[in-house]
Amino acid sequence: MRFIQSIHTAPMGPTWSNAEMLQVFEPLVERLPLRDETISELLDFLRFQLIGERSRQTCLPEFRSPGGFAERAAAAEAGVERGLLGLAEQIDRDGEPFDAVIGITSTAGIMPGISYRMAHHLGPGVRPDALMVDIAHAGCTAGFQALRLVSTLSESIRRVLLVSVETPTTLVSFDSLKRDVWQGNCTFGDGCVAVTLGQGETSGLGLVLELLETRQWSGEGLDLIRWGYGSYYQFALRDEKRFDADVREYVAGTLREREADWKSEPRWAIHPAGIALLVRLSRKLGIPGNAIAPSTAHYRRFSNMSSVSLLQILGEVAADLEPGAAINLLSMGAGFSVCYGRVRRA
Amino acid sequence: MASMTAEEILKLLHTELARPELTVEALGASTPREVLGDDSLDYIEVVAVLEEKLGIELDLQRLGPVLARGTFAELATEVSRGLAAQGG
């Protein structure tokens, strides 16, 4: 029986609020080589995207001037190291060494990868013959997919460390003429999370990996979310006008197929892809408003941290979970992929 | 869903928002920020409620700027236009 023992988070850098972001964005947009009407529409779009109290962390030394390729890549690497150091300080080194380390990032293009860097910080906390795996390019669902991978590992691999670090603010682009790039500028924040997992008798959080399923739509959904390229990688959408509706249909369709699995469980950890999506999805499926509250609270504080967010929200929801109670997991992201699962407190 | 005028949609909003201290006219002249404050969740809830009541999907890309800067009367006008465009 594979279970989650602990979930840890650590700071990534300074925090920027919506109001502060808008102050940076407005003069930049006004200088774009676009017609006045288009600039006005883009500004209105940004003001809506940045309505209300929301913030995000960034590992960029100076958010206003992210620099070129080398500066952004260096900032991502430095952000990864900062996150890993903060996580390593919290991981119990008195426990058995880890038999496997799984690292995740889609937004920091680094080598060596997260797993080796974390092992470097933990020293004897990772066995010399440990399984070392790095998952890249898997987008927002990578945290869930990693849990699913862990659930399939041999029983001989007893203790597993799963680490995700995402640095999407290094992708920020201030000279793009494309609305989807600006949507990405508004949506994401940097973050990191570490999850320790055991095998057999439960301890700590004691969250048993009860059900972990993925529905992949690589046929028609492949380019729904993808990278674009400028002076660095950029967030891009196939069709920003249809994006929300398309994602809702994939997610709602998948969950309708599994309704018997989740209907009776009131607690949810849902990837915060965006408040509009969460609210409309919950209404479409009859998920109570208070079930999405942990995700909306997380989104307000950290924005969308890609693969990190679901695992952090799970840690928050699980903090005061009674024995026998379950938490539904839901994530969606590039691929296109919809992941549904459930963990239960032993 | 049959077409609805902007006035009818404004009355629907007035009912759903349940602010008896505001007349329909006063609501129309107010901005979402003045009535709902700064919580973006409340803005999205307004859209979601309208979608349920009207039985259509609203275009947030088009409505977003109105929610951010316009009045409820302007929002009602945009929703009415959207209904008409969807054949209602």
pLDDT of residue A76: 97
Q: How confident is the model at residue A85 (pLDDT cuts 50, 70, 90)?
A: very high
- How far away is chain A from the Cα of B45, in angstroms, using its nearest Cα? 7
Cα–Cα distance list, A15 to A11, A12, A57, B46 (Å): 10, 9, 4, 29
- How far away is chain A from the Cα of B69, in angstroms, using its nearest Cα? 8
Q: How confident is the model at residue A268 (pLDDT cuts 50, 70, 90)?
A: very high
Statement: residue B69 has pLDDT above 90: no
Q: Which two tokens stand for residue B1?
A: 């869903």
Mean pLDDT score across all residues of chain B: 85
Separation CA A209–CA A199 (nearest Å): 10
Average pLDDT over residues A311-339: 96
The complex's ipTM?
A: 0.79
**A172, containing H or E segment:** none
**A283, containing H or E segment:** helix A275-285
Statement: residue B87 has pLDDT above 90: no
Q: How confident is the model at residue B2 (pLDDT cuts 50, 70, 90)?
A: low
Residues of B in contact with A275 (CB under 8 A): 40-41, 44
Q: How confident is the model at residue B60 (pLDDT cuts 50, 70, 90)?
A: confident
Average pLDDT over residues A120-147: 97
pLDDT of residue A321: 95
Average pLDDT over residues A298-324: 96
Higher pLDDT, B60 or A249: A249
Separation CA A113–CA A116 (nearest Å): 6
For chain B, give percent helix, strand, coil, nearest 5. Answer: 70, 0, 30
**Beta strands in chain A, from DSSP E residues, in sequence order:** 2-9, 15-17, 55-57, 98-105, 126-136, 160-166, 191-199, 207-216, 225-229, 233-237, 268-270, 326-333, 337-345
User: Parallel, antiparallel, or unpaired for β A55-57 and A15-17?
Assistant: antiparallel
Nearest chain A residue to B36, by CA? A52
Which one of B51, B57, B65 has the shortest CB-CB distance to A48? B65
The DSSP result for A108-165, as a single string, is: ---SS-HHHHHHHHHGGGEEEEEEEEEEES-GGGHHHHHHHHHHTS-TT---EEEEEE
Fold type of domain B6-85: 1.10.1200
Taking phi first (over 0 means left), then psi (-120 to 50 degrees means alpha), and beta for anything else, what does residue A232 get?
beta
pLDDT of residue A172: 96
Separation CA A101–CA A68 (nearest Å): 32
Separation CA B53–CA B81 (nearest Å): 16
User: Longest C-alpha distance within chain A, in Å?
Assistant: 64
| Other Cβ atoms closer than 10 A to A218 | 9
Instruction: Return the CA Rg of chain A.
Output: 20
Which one of A47, A52, A275 has the shortest CB-CB distance to B69? A47
Contact A179, A240 (CB under 8 A): yes
- How far away is chain B from the Cα of A285, in angstroms, using its nearest Cα? 12
Which residues 6+ apart lie within 8 Å of A213 measured at CB?
Answer: A148, A258, A339, A340, A341
Contact A145, A138 (CB under 8 A): yes
DSSP label at A304? B
Nearest chain B residue to A179, by CA? B61
pLDDT digits (tens, 9 = 90+) for A20-78: 999 999 999 999 999 999 999 899 889 888 988 899 999 999 999 999 999 999 999 99
- What number of residues does chain A have? 346
Tell me whether B62 touches chain A (CB under 8 Å).
no
Separation CA A180–CA A241 (nearest Å): 9
pLDDT of residue A53: 86
- How far away is chain A from the Cα of B66, in angstroms, using its nearest Cα? 8
Contact A171, A184 (CB under 8 A): yes
Domains and CATH numbers, chain A: 2-199 (3.40.47.10), 207-345 (3.40.47.10)
Contact A207, A345 (CB under 8 A): yes
User: Longest C-alpha distance within chain B, in Å?
Assistant: 35
User: Considering only A139-153, A266-280, B31-45, B65-79, which range has the smallest mean pLDDT?
Assistant: B31-45
pLDDT digits (tens, 9 = 90+) for A222-265: 999 999 999 999 999 998 888 888 898 899 899 988 888 888 89
Residues of B in contact with A244 (CB under 8 A): 60
Sign of the torsion angle spanned by Cα atoms A176, A178, A182, A188: negative
Q: How confident is the model at residue B50 (pLDDT cuts 50, 70, 90)?
A: confident
Contact A102, A135 (CB under 8 A): yes
Which residues 6+ apart lie within 8 Å of A100 measured at CB?
Answer: A130, A131, A132, A133, A150, A153, A157, A159, A160, A161
How many Å from the N-terminal Cα to the C-terminal Cα in chain A?
A: 10
Q: Which amino acid is at A186?
A: C
pLDDT digits (tens, 9 = 90+) for A1-22: 899 999 999 999 999 999 999 9
Contact A227, A221 (CB under 8 A): no
Average pLDDT over residues A88-109: 93
How large a percentage of chain A has pLDDT more than 90? Answer: 81
Average pLDDT over residues B25-52: 84
Statement: residue A141 has pLDDT above 70: yes
| Domain ranges within chain B, ordered by starting residue | 6-85
Statement: residue A175 has pLDDT above 90: yes
Q: Which amino acid is at A144?
A: F
Give the three-state DSSP class for A45: helix
pLDDT of residue B20: 86
Q: How confident is the model at residue B1 (pLDDT cuts 50, 70, 90)?
A: low
List residues of chain A with CB under 8 Å from any CB of chain B: 41, 44-45, 47-49, 51-54, 240-241, 244-245, 275-276, 279-280, 283, 296
| Other Cβ atoms closer than 10 A to A93 | 12
